[in-house]
Chains A and B, each alone.
Chain A
């Protein structure tokens, strides 16, 4: 990262008008996961060394003070709970259900899932409470999704044919996918208590229902070789109707496809993003829908920025849409350590209900929470 201090000063002055709020934190080690554990806290975990920390961070309270910001002292992230994991954490999910303080992690080059208790106010330790041992080792880590039933359960898989739903309390396998597809899993997510969607690395979407093992498959029309795909589902959690969901898929070549489950034969929207590198690492590709802004989509993992788009502006002829907003802040984190590799945003998430608030993390260990100004609609 060779941004001059003068460029950083320029960006700082501009940021005063681009953001309503911007808070920066430096983790000792970078994270590739950010998972909401409550309205004001997130969980992050290291992936870059053999022994990694899992941390629950409280967001700067100033963010929530609204007009009374002057009365709120806290402008920093605070570590509320922490624990150590014996493997690099590839995937981390907060589990829905009775306990509410449970997360599950999967590791790099690992054949197990680990279950953790985040702890309450009386303790600051995140404790491991269980291990689920599986047959297959996954180099990139098993993908995980939280079940949406009262009894905590987790959906996981590294290949389509080994996707299972496991009840956490007992370790019992509640459901297994009935297919022999060897496609690698890129991501999975429940739409409601029973229906779920899986995205494979090659972009094929699978739709299943835990009430029967049969699974529907929707392959991509044109095959784009050497591309890896990630997906983001637009749902009204926790009880969505599959037909009302839109799914976005992002490829490592920068292609974005929007599809509607009512009509999977052709996409409802498409875009081609400009990429700086020809073959960026596809480890970190993230595409998500804004929970509180209709049709707003964000993309990260292709470089050191997070791009926010208004997909209603995507037309069939103009394939290179302009983003509504670009977060470049990670390039200007003045505390960032760099080892010469190009900076990349490892993950990002939207705030569950604040319209324009996002969190993003980068490969240099920085983590930002930011609330951007929509200049076009001039709203704050």
Chain B
């Protein structure tokens, strides 16, 4: 069985000596300085799950965006004893500086202060509120933290994230800030070591925002496998786009993925994979036009995670898109990636 060797955080020499003489509380503080976190689980040996209770905000009744799914994803994982509270890491709000590495100053300023105009807001599917701004910033912070923890531990999963339709200067399709882009940019610049990041986006909608942001960035590879006829109809160019026909089912979907992922990992040789495990390819999804089953999603997620982890590459997951008026069923579907990750963690990481 392959054993994953835990990567150590590279602390400079004097700090290492100091660390030995500090008590545990202070060690946590050091941990917090390196991780973008309000709370860390450095003594946990279990799959790191990243969640913030402020991933949600109030929306008008009958709003089509299933905001309630975020806390429900965590709840069903806890209830089914897939995870416990002791492995839940809590992110910090993404800072202006962090967001500024992807988004324009003008957009950020308008977005944070509520000055985006009505037409811009209509394209996002949301009416502005300060609660909305806050939840997006926590969500982005969550993806950043998941990426950092993945680098250290090998695997980490957020209970939100995947806002891939956000462009530098505008939001679109229920996405206001591009969390995957912000996380990738942060990790590219945070370390003195040059890193290559692969974004595997299996949400049923093309990751157009992310594709646009990294089109000229050689150290970030964007791979999107999506349904051609789904939103957005105006497509960007990812580094690799695989456009699927309506109605595709489990078997063909998985074999299409198997035709691309292995060579991509071998040729690009990423130092980190960010995986958008959107569940909208599911046949029950209200907006997606594919026909995957629960089992199909599980096999997909397991395949991606195993392929990456077996090569010794760390991977952070986000839940991506899913649209259903039955939020309980949807949350359960989103938790499939966490269950697959827990299985992979047990088999390959611990």
Instruction: Using CB atoms and an 8 Å cutoff, list the residues of chain A in contact with chain B.
Output: 4-6, 8-10, 12-14, 16-17, 67-71, 73, 75, 334-335, 380
Contact = CB atoms under 8 A, between A and B. Distances in A.
A17 B229 contact: no
A207 to B, nearest CB: 45
Nearest to B122: A14
Contacts of A13: 122-125, 172-173, 231
Interface of B: 62-64, 122-125, 172-173, 229, 231-235, 283-284, 286, 324-326, 329-330
B324 A69 contact: yes
19 contacts: A5-B232, A5-B233, A8-B233, A8-B234, A9-B172, A9-B231, A9-B232, A9-B234, A10-B123, A12-B231, A13-B122, A67-B326, A68-B326, A69-B286, A70-B324, A70-B325, A70-B329, A73-B283, A334-B233
Nearest to A21: B286
Contacts of B62: 380
Main secondary structure of the interface of B (DSSP, over half): loop
- Which 10 residue pairs spanning A and B have beta carbons closest together? A70-B326, A5-B233, A5-B234, A16-B64, A70-B329, A6-B234, A9-B232, A8-B233, A13-B125, A12-B231
Nearest to B329: A70
Contacts of B324: 69-70
Main secondary structure of the interface of A (DSSP, over half): helix
A341 to B, nearest CB: 22
Contacts of B173: 9, 13
A220 B64 CA distance: 47
B285 to A, nearest CB: 9
Given A67-B325, A70-B329, A73-B284, A17 B125 contact: yes
Q: Which of A9, A13, A75 has the most CB of B within 10 A?
A: A13
Contact of B233 (A9, A67, A69, A71): A9
A4 B234 contact: yes
Contacts of B232: 5, 9
Contacts of B284: 70-71, 73
Nearest to A3: B233
Contacts of A71: 284, 326
Given A5-B233, A9-B172, A13-B173, 14 more contacts: A4-B234, A5-B235, A6-B234, A8-B233, A10-B123, A12-B231, A12-B233, A13-B122, A13-B123, A13-B125, A13-B231, A70-B326, A334-B229, A380-B62
